[in-house]
């Protein structure tokens, strides 16, 4: 029985030693720091993409805002040069 107890103690000691080596706090902290730096880089990239998308959407929004048509110059032209066909010409005239 003494021999089995000694072998058991030796095996437990070796297992505990392996666990202690595997859980080296310094290595674990370094790995956590590396993981956090990688995540920070990914977040910065995602934020940059989101900002670029926002600028693109704002530009498209400005392009798609309906522009008020200034019909006053066309109306004045029609009034000054009235002929029976003037309304047709005013309609076909390109917008300013």
- Looking at every residue in the chain, the average pLDDT score rounds to 79
Confidence of residue 38 (pLDDT cuts 50, 70, 90): very high
Tokens, residue 57: 């959407």
Contact indicator for 91, 69 with CB cutoff of 8 Å: no
Contact indicator for 47, 55 with CB cutoff of 8 Å: no
Residues 59 and 48 in one domain: yes
Helix (H, G, I), strand (E, B) or coil at 83: coil
**For residue 64, pLDDT beyond 90:** no
Number of independent structural domains in the chain: 2
**For residue 56, pLDDT beyond 90:** yes
User: Is residue 4 in some structural domain?
Assistant: no
Sign of CA dihedral 33, 35, 36, 41: positive
Residues 18 and 59 in one domain: yes
User: Is residue 2 in some structural domain?
Assistant: no
Residues 70 and 51 in one domain: no
Q: List the domain range (segments joined by +) for residue 75.
A: 66-96
Residues 24 and 70 in one domain: no
Tokens, residue 1: 């029985």
């Amino acid at each position: 029985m003494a021999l089995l107890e000694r072998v058991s103690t030796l095996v437990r000691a070796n297992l505990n030693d392996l666990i202690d080596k595997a859980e080296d706090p310094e290595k674990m902290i370094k790995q956590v720091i590396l993981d956090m730096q990688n995540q920070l880089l990914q977040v910065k990239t995602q934020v940059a993409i989101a900002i670029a998308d926002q600028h693109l959407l704002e530009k498209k929004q400005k392009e798609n805002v309906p522009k008020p048509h200034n019909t006053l110059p066309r109306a004045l032209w029609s009034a000054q040069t009235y002929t029976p066909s003037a309304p047709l010409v005013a309609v076909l005239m390109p917008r300013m």
